[in-house]
Structure 1
Amino acid sequence: MKNSYLLLTPGPLSTTESVRQAMMRDWCTWDDEYNSLVQEVRDRLVKQATTSSLYTAVLMQGSGTFCVEATIGTVMPKREGKLLIITNGAYGNRMIQMCDVLNIDKVVYGLNEDESIQLGTIEQILLDDKEITHVAMVHCETTTGILNPIKEVCRISKEHNKITIIDAMSSFGGILLDVHQLQIDFLISSSNKCIQGVPGFGFVIAQKDELKKCKGNARSLSLDLYDQYETMEEYKGKWRFTSPTHVVRAFYQALLELEEEGGVEARFKRYQENQKMLVEGMSEIGFETLLQAKQQSPIITSFIYPKDTTFAFKVFYESLKKQGFVIYPGKVSQIDTFRIGNIGDIFKEDIERLLQAVKKTVRLKGGITI
């Protein structure tokens, strides 16, 4: 059945018919055929992340946030551990909340949502606070669409012998990276982002030796990343608790389709072309982006509400939805914005149709009409 609208969001996102069809069969969580599928998913994820044999993939039920909390709650030592959180958006701030709930010692380098990370500041924080053992940050902060410099931050962190945790929720599978080359110890993402599966589980690409040091650290039974890893290793793909079988099968199909498209490099090119066309078209209509081009990821773009108009996001949103497109409200605290994503099963012709729908909905230059 054809979808009634395209999801122009950072996930869940519009998937292919074949990914949706992959869920039309029931699976037993104890069956060898299903567990072999899980193992193949794990292997393929590691191959997408690195050519190194030093890493493993651990799958975890729930949303991406579950995986971030599982990682922080398992990786951080119960004693003598301190986490530096670098944040310029809502998802970095969520890590702060997790530490507060889990009673994990932390220090925060916080910026405004449209500010770029200053590497010199990170260097100084690590020089000043010798108790810091781990560094965490978001790669693509979907609050705005800003792309943060994980290569440079991880390099500085390793120069100070810190463990690195990267939330790559909205970038993994859509932006080329190698966790080993980047010196990332724990990279976190989920099934419903750039690999273009459906919601239901997340995953962690973990440096094996560092993960093995985490046994007994977890503050939660269900979100124990190490125990999940140990069970999947010992029982060859078995999850500790009921797994989202249909979602896993759909994700496997999505991984195959990523490879068929030409891998991450080809997908990145498509996303980048989508985003460029979107910004150029919205600019011609009269919308301004929140971020500078050098800060912008190819994943999602924040647009500022037009000034001196009667612009009403709810009316704008409903009009676009009737024309077959769902966009996102803004999440920036200081400026009124809305967001449009271009990941998922989205192509240049879809962006062109969206721009035509926007033109039908508004006239910005010389006033606005909705």
Structure 2
Amino acid sequence: MKVLALEGQKHIKSFIDFPHDLYRNDPNYVPELYIAQHDLLTPGKHPFHDHSKVQLFLAYDDQNKVCGRIAAILNNNHNAFNNTTDGFFGFFECINDQKVATALLNQAELWLKKQGITTIIGPANFSTNETVGLLIDGYDSPPVVMMPYNYSYYLQLIENAGYAKKTDLLAYDVPYDTHNDRSVRLLGALQARLKRSNIIIRKVNMKDFKNEAAKLRDVYNQAWDRNLGFVPMTEKEFDYLAKDLKMIVNPEFCLVAEQGDKFIGFALGIPDINQVLRKVKRGRLLPFGIFKLLFGLKKVDWLRVMALGVLTEYRKLGIEACLYGLIIQNAISNNIKGAECSWMLEDNYMMNNAIEAINGKIYKKYRLLEKAL
């Protein structure tokens, strides 16, 4: 067995395609779109590479067959914002073999130590602004859009390499046939109270999406700044994400709270396109995957509420309850059966209590692990 550092674009296809072979017999596996993964990992394509570094590694067995992969990630913006010397590992996939897992993690650790890093955290692809966490509970169903999935043996492999829990991330299941509709019933009274403070909640204006997205970025970077591991998104990073999401965003589920011309909060729910991507072989849109995606979108009946935040000084006014209530109300009228609210930090009691108040139940858990170098 050997672990090789990838140079440039050499072997990038093998790196991206390895999970398709690893999970080929797993009915809950959802392939990432090849073109999206390729752009994410390519300097000059994704804006993360403008300020930070990524080193990819592949493990090969004695038959020269890929048996594992990992990325070592130096996020300079994270360290500058949090005043830390953290490094990350991500894109970790591995056969059930401790020697392979340890060798991959060791290579990531060595590369990061050379960059002056003192703590390694993961998995994160590349930060909390992208896919993050190791699935540790909830293997009986596929992941929703932009959430990770992995075999149950991964936790043991990583812990055996010297890693310990940093924190857990929670995913809530909110089926709309059993949800507590209190937030919907109270909508009228809550909105009337907010209106007296000149606060309204409306759908995002898709015709002015670029300017709307810029205001959303300001709220995101302020409302989430106390979260563990948070790093503000650059203008280019947010625009990149917004451009991707615009293709699937339904304004019924993208709501903004506004006081005058100022955005003070927002909620973003996106259709769970993983229901369609499960059928796109090896993540290729061509020649037939594109048709599965286009025609399948109309049949998606699940939602992921992936972001909901309000500026600190406007919290406890009922804005969060209004945002949840309106999304539930709009989802029901759009034949959506339910939603996943994810991810939530395990100690974010205010938001967790708000979800549990509408009968949300924890049904998946993810973990971030760390190790001192």
Q: Give your verdict on TM over 0.5.
A: no
Normalised to the residue count of structure 1, the TM-score between the two structures is 0.25
Q: Identify the structure with the greater strand proportion.
A: 2
